[in-house]
Amino acid sequence: MKIQDFLEHHGIAGNPFAEEEAQNDAVFKRTCLETTFHPAWDKIFGDPAEPSTSIVFGEKGAGKTALKLQMLQQYRTHAAAGGEPSTFVVLYDDFNPFLDRFVSRVGPSRPVERVLAQWKLWDHMDAILALSVTQLVDRLLDMPARDVPTLSAAQSRDLALLAACYDQSTAEPFPKRWRQLRQRIGYLRPAGLWPFSLGLAASVVMAVALITSSVQGSLSWTALAWPWLLLAAAWGPWLWRRLRSWWRAFRIVRSMRTGNRTVGQVTRALARMPEVDLAGQPLPLLSRSDDRYELLAKLQAVLTACGYGGMVVIVDRLDEPHLINGSAERMRQVIWPMLDNKFLKSPGLGFKLLLPIELYGFIEREDEAFNQRARLDKQNLVPSLEWSGETLYDIASMRVQAASVGEPPATLAALFDASVDKRRLLDGLRTLRVPRQLFKFLYRLLVAHCHAHTSEQPSYQIPIERFDSVLAVYCRDQDAFDRGFAPR
């Protein structure tokens, strides 16, 4: 018996339990994205007009990626509704490029654990600034010139400075992109032409003198030192400014261990900004978080001028980078510096940390110093993203209805024999714990039922015996997989 025949008999188009990952789940995106929420949704999401921090721990398949997609959708809905400023959302869910650059800078030949032990809060801040600034510059360059928000002179300077350090787009050469940004936001102040003009004028005078003397046959004065010293002195102010720009750029690149900017790129950008605009401005010159806090504040001011009411950073997929490879200890080394109350409670800035459940064990073993620094009691902490049997049943029912093409829509209960008690069904689903295991089990159950019948003698209801037997085998395999004994 074909599984398609079983589903068509119930008026269901396609298998609603075939996908296991929310990122690629068409049924979830079509219906459940805006209708099926975890019971702790309000605590996790909060008020879109007032960005807040929440920290969620969940096992694999508990719905962390689904939460991320739902938050993105809700922020878009809030922005489309109008009336209130929208939220600038940054996805911090691909750690690979930042970790790769960090390891290549700190010690590519050293053990990964020893290298990750040097990962600090300012490395996270640099990564978040890079993602935010790149995203903002993309939006400003893509929108029509008439729609570009008007920035003050100070905000234009701040955005140009942030882009010089943190814009990591590879879509086009950095000098061209930075020049386009300056033109788009109206930051066209000359960087002081007199040093270069003085050196150029001196060079022209020297060249004319050399040509004239050569024609007249009187080049003896070229053996004297003072003409060349005057020429060097004329170029001195320009060289001094370039050296200062290079030294700043060198320190910036050295301290930004997650960045992809080169010393030459930053040097040219800083040299094109007037010295008066750089004087006293925070720059990521040192390995510390103080300057990054000021740069974040400048970015938030620019975002406010661009019409955003706040900024939210969503952290996900911490266990997926190849350098971490699911190691709980490496995940702890990377994410622990971010658990700082001052950072997580920055005004106008919210963090949504969707973390693997393995890290919660480390939380329980931490000392008083960590607890005082992180203040997790203030961070809307969800220790475990748990699902009840009733909630899992509702999720499965909604997916069946979403894939239904008949009238009335099919229900989950209609797939089972009348002898299957709903309480027994709920108790069985409760043992699966998370949506991903639910989908895997129901997919396996449908396949097992269809394989047990021929097309000549089909059966369109699943009996209680098959439900119990498949569930027992599945739970045994799941337990073996959780203990690392066998793949499932």
**pLDDT digit string (tens) for 325-342?**
889 999 999 999 999 999
- The residue ranking higher by pLDDT, 21 or 278, is 278
- The residue ranking higher by pLDDT, 357 or 481, is 357
pLDDT digits (tens, 9 = 90+) for 402-452: 888 878 888 898 899 888 888 888 999 999 989 999 999 999 999 999 999
pLDDT digits (tens, 9 = 90+) for 141-186: 999 988 999 999 999 999 999 999 999 998 899 999 999 999 999 9
Amino acid 193: pLDDT: 62
Contacts of the segment 43-49: beta carbons below 8 A, 24+ positions apart? 43/380, 43/382, 44/71, 44/352, 44/380, 44/382, 45/70, 45/71, 45/74, 46/350, 46/380, 48/74, 48/75, 48/78, 48/84, 48/87, 49/78, 49/84, 49/85, 49/309, 49/310
State the Cα–Cα distance between residues 473 and 325, nearest whole angstrom.
28
Rounded percentage of the chain residues whose pLDDT exceeds 70: 92
Amino acid 479: pLDDT: 80
Amino acid 488: pLDDT: 47
State the Cα–Cα distance between residues 326 and 312, nearest whole angstrom.
26
State the Cα–Cα distance between residues 202 and 138, nearest whole angstrom.
42
- The residue ranking higher by pLDDT, 41 or 483, is 41
- The residue ranking higher by pLDDT, 104 or 204, is 104
pLDDT over 60 (residue 192): no
pLDDT digits (tens, 9 = 90+) for 55-95: 999 998 898 999 999 999 999 988 888 767 899 999 999 99
State the Cα–Cα distance between residues 237 and 148, nearest whole angstrom.
37
73, 333 Cβ separation under 8 angstroms:
no
Averaged pLDDT, 24-31: 74
Residue 34's pLDDT band (boundaries 50, 70, 90)?
confident
pLDDT over 60 (residue 466): yes
The closest of 179, 183, 197, 194 to 151, measured between CA atoms, is: 183
Q: Considering the chain, what is the average pLDDT of its residues?
A: 88
pTM of the prediction?
Answer: 0.88
- Residue 345: which residues within 8 A CB-CB, separation 6 or more? 53, 378
State the Cα–Cα distance between residues 213 and 207, nearest whole angstrom.
10
State the Cα–Cα distance between residues 60 and 435, nearest whole angstrom.
10
pLDDT digits (tens, 9 = 90+) for 122-140: 999 999 999 999 999 999 9
Averaged pLDDT, 478-484: 74
Angle in degrees, CA 76, 259, 345, rounded to 5: 50
pLDDT over 80 (residue 234): no
333, 196 Cβ separation under 8 angstroms:
no
Amino acid 302: pLDDT: 97
What residue has token string 């990962």? 119
